[in-house]
């Protein structure tokens, strides 16, 4: 059973470009969470999705950030018009219905130049 997959592992974008981060949850998992880890900081919750629904986006910046988890395919975290402050590691986690622990992917390290 493959774990949580994230791609790309490393992404370099210039200021003003768009970044798209993909996450495929573990097989059988219907809950996806995105977290951001800034340098020298812990992980901060961004958004929680189930298939085709955003359940909790209380940690998402109000502008430029969006997330989706379509019926088919991976979950996507999209950052428009990136700025240097968006440079961070973005982790996706998934869990099964009724299971409390979340399983994390290897992360996407975004660098904005």
Partner 1 sequence: AQSVAQPEDQVNVAEGNPLTVKCTYSVSGNPYLFWYVQYPNRGLQFLLKYITGDNLVKGSYGFEAEFNKSQTSFHLKKPSALVSDSALYFCAVRSHGSGNTGKLIFGQGTTLQVKP
Could you tell me the smallest distance in angstroms from the CB atom of residue 21 to partner 1? 13
Please state whether the peptide bond connecting residue 38 to the residue before it is cis, i.e. omega within 30 degrees of 0. no
23's tokens: 């996450």
Residue 17 vs 89, nearer CB to partner 1:
89
C-alpha to C-alpha distance for 69 and 34, rounded to whole angstroms? 11
Residue 17 or residue 54: which is nearer to partner 1 going by CB?
Answer: 54
Give me the residues paired with residue 19 across strands: 79
**Site for partner 1, rule CB under 8 A:** 4, 6, 31, 33, 35, 41-45, 48, 55-56, 58-59, 91, 93, 95, 100-107, 109
Strands 10-13 and 108-112: parallel
Tell me, rounded to whole angstroms, the distance of Cα 47 from its chain centroid. Answer: 8
Structure tokens at 57: 């986006």
Least distance CB 42 / partner 1 (angstroms) = 4
Minimum CB separation from partner 1 for residue 40, in Å? 9
- By beta-carbon proximity to partner 1, the closer residue of 46 and 82 is 46
Question: Residue 38 Cβ, how far from partner 1 at the closest point, in Å?
Answer: 11
């Amino acid at each position: 059973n493959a774990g949580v997959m994230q791609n790309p592992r490393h992404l370099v974008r210039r200021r003003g470009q768009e970044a798209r981060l993909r996450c495929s949850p573990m097989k059988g998992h219907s809950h996806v969470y995105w977290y951001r880890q800034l340098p020298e900081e812990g992980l901060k919750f961004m958004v929680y999705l189930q298939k085709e629904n955003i359940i909790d986006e209380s940690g998402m910046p109000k502008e430029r950030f969006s997330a989706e988890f379509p019926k088919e395919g991976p979950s996507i975290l999209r950052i428009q018009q990136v700025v240097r402050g968006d440079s961070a590691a973005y982790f996706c986690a998934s869990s099964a219905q009724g299971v409390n622990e979340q399983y994390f992917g290897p992360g996407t390290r975004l660098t904005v130049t």
